[in-house]
Structure 1
């Protein structure tokens, strides 16, 4: 069993499946391997990958955040609206970022100190953030367009660095920062310790509650970055994305890549592998003109299968069951 899990873990299986899909699509779909299509493929999952990194930080600490997409959409849409109303771009972006961090801080406090299970706390916060934002911050429209004075910030979604689209570059930078944070900083190691065994981490002197709060604040900041990339790429932020299946796609990327929902197991590489598989699959189905509804059904089945595999590879122990978070 040890040999099997060492050489045939979920990450490697998913990566192998991704390579097989690449070969299959390359042989059967015209122009699939064209450089422009491959860049488009990676670019299409850049935002999903960035959000997946935010979800990774939370899931490693044995939580989940269903409010990521709502935080992303409302905070960035409000920033764009403030900039369009005459506020400087820097101030507008700063206010939007503070909103994202503030809402995530409240979420973290509810989970860490009020001890509300993360599933319910983040679901409620997602509804609150969207409702509050639409009613009091963004009025009269579902779509907030990029203002003319956005300046160089538009390059986040529309520019390129050495021929590589900026959304890919931003996703790579966020991935590198997340890797360094989780691997080489004390808070990053604390997150792994809490996810592995919360009781032992507390006995060992880990400041469990502050770290739990920090997880959600970090995820909120990452969601804001993902929102900026989304808005500058599409030249608008559509707040109706909150009611889409995007949050389930984020969870799919994380779980599919091999991050354990029981906490303490996973890394940035898992998210990258999961995002690549979804990107290849969606790109291939789009070229084959598969209906969007059918694509969602296929993704749902993959998510269900990934959760079943995760429950087998990362069984819930007694202490995990007592958490009740997932």
Structure 2
């Protein structure tokens, strides 16, 4: 199954069954929230706020694309924020050795790819459940980064033209960060839907045991997924660095990873695997972005915002468990 979660109701006048997708419900809620905030909040429709909303959504959405890719394959990746901050911080840190920043970024990409490779091997070959493997690796990566960098905040060189464009450039009035998010989304959408590897990810996520029985290379698929996820997280980190001219490694301790999970689950990518896609990520990103922006304008405290989002995430997980029940194979393999 490659579509979003759906529920079925019956039209009493015709007796015909009507399929209502979770994606459609989320779109409807997003539109309603946008209209309410537009009327109630004076600053919501201001140019500055809309641009800020779009830029924040680009970071969250890019991370969610990587997470969605992993969840479709019946996994989870809690290393994404750690990989993002440590990978970019490493790139900035080695520029102090006289290395050109662009080359440093390539070396940072190599580092995060190796972390993703190690994560994938631990899950695919050592068969450690993803939630435990990624949680432990995330903590280790962040701890090692803090030890090496000896600083919470690292600032990128201010003379890098392409990084300035990422932070403040526009194309036809659209922020460059949003364009990058759009490109990542488009590429991943085509990759999942139109390539053989993408179809293998869906097959392995839908029924891992059947995929192995059919001779599909499930272990290499898992490893490749985590490498790609790490590189997508690194891309999100570069977007953030362009926007704020640096990276704050303490972001690892924030609720960002839970926001990413909230986007994925709300959008309709079931944790049971084998369904959903980047379109679900986009609608989930829009909803969470609008909700967070509105709460910020309303002066909700950071704690209050996290509480509200946590309740929404718990509700979404409960609904997902009902709509996409965990099968016997899922329970045995300990997928998350």
Same fold, judged at TM 0.5 (above): yes
SS of equivalent to 2:247: strand
Structure 1 runs, 4 residues or longer, greater than 6 Å off: none
Aligned to 2:3: none
**CA distance in structure 2 between the aligned counterparts of 1:99 and 1:154, rounded to whole angstroms:** 23
Aligned to 1:141: 151
Single out whichever of 124-133 and 157-166 deviates more from structure 2: 157-166
- Are residue 240 (structure 1) and residue 257 (structure 2) matched? no
Aligned to 2:136: 124
Q: Is the 8 A contact 2:158 2:245 kept in 1?
A: no
Aligned to 2:13: none
Q: CA RMSD in A?
A: 1.5
1:138-187: CA deviation from partner (whole Å, max 9, x where unpaired): 2x311000113433222112211121111111100000000000001111
Structure 2 unaligned runs (5+)? 1-5, 10-16
**CA distance in structure 1 between the aligned counterparts of 2:7 and 2:256, rounded to whole angstroms:** 36
**CA distance in structure 1 between the aligned counterparts of 2:235 and 2:78, rounded to whole angstroms:** 17
**What is the TM-score with the length of structure 2 in the denominator?**
0.93
Please list, as runs of the form range in 1=range in 2, the aligned pairs for 1:172-191 lying within 5 A after superposition.
Answer: 172-191=182-201
Please list, as runs of the form range in 1=range in 2, the aligned pairs for 1:1-326 lying within 5 A after superposition.
Answer: 3-4=8-9, 7-136=19-148, 138=149, 140-326=150-336
Single out whichever of 177-186 and 75-84 deviates more from structure 2: 75-84
**CA distance in structure 2 between the aligned counterparts of 1:177 and 1:166, rounded to whole angstroms:** 16
Shift of 1:2: 6.5
Structure 1 unaligned runs (5+)? none
Single out whichever of 154-163 and 277-286 deviates more from structure 2: 154-163
**What is the TM-score with the length of structure 1 in the denominator?**
0.96
Q: Is the 8 A contact 2:101 2:157 kept in 1?
A: no
**1:121/1:32 Cα in 2 relative to 1: closer, same or farther (>3 Å)?**
same
1:57-89: CA deviation from partner (whole Å, max 9, x where unpaired): 111111000000000000101101112431012
**CA distance in structure 2 between the aligned counterparts of 1:234 and 1:310, rounded to whole angstroms:** 36
**CA distance in structure 1 between the aligned counterparts of 2:295 and 2:97, rounded to whole angstroms:** 41
Q: Is the 8 A contact 1:252 1:303 kept in 2?
A: yes
Shift of 1:134: 1.8
Q: Is the 8 A contact 1:72 1:223 kept in 2?
A: yes
**CA distance in structure 1 between the aligned counterparts of 2:329 and 2:240, rounded to whole angstroms:** 39
Shift of 1:24: 1.1
1:252-292: CA deviation from partner (whole Å, max 9, x where unpaired): 11011110001011110111111111111111111111111
SS of equivalent to 2:76: coil
SS of equivalent to 1:293: helix
SS of equivalent to 1:144: strand
Q: How many residues end up aligned between the 2 structures?
A: 324
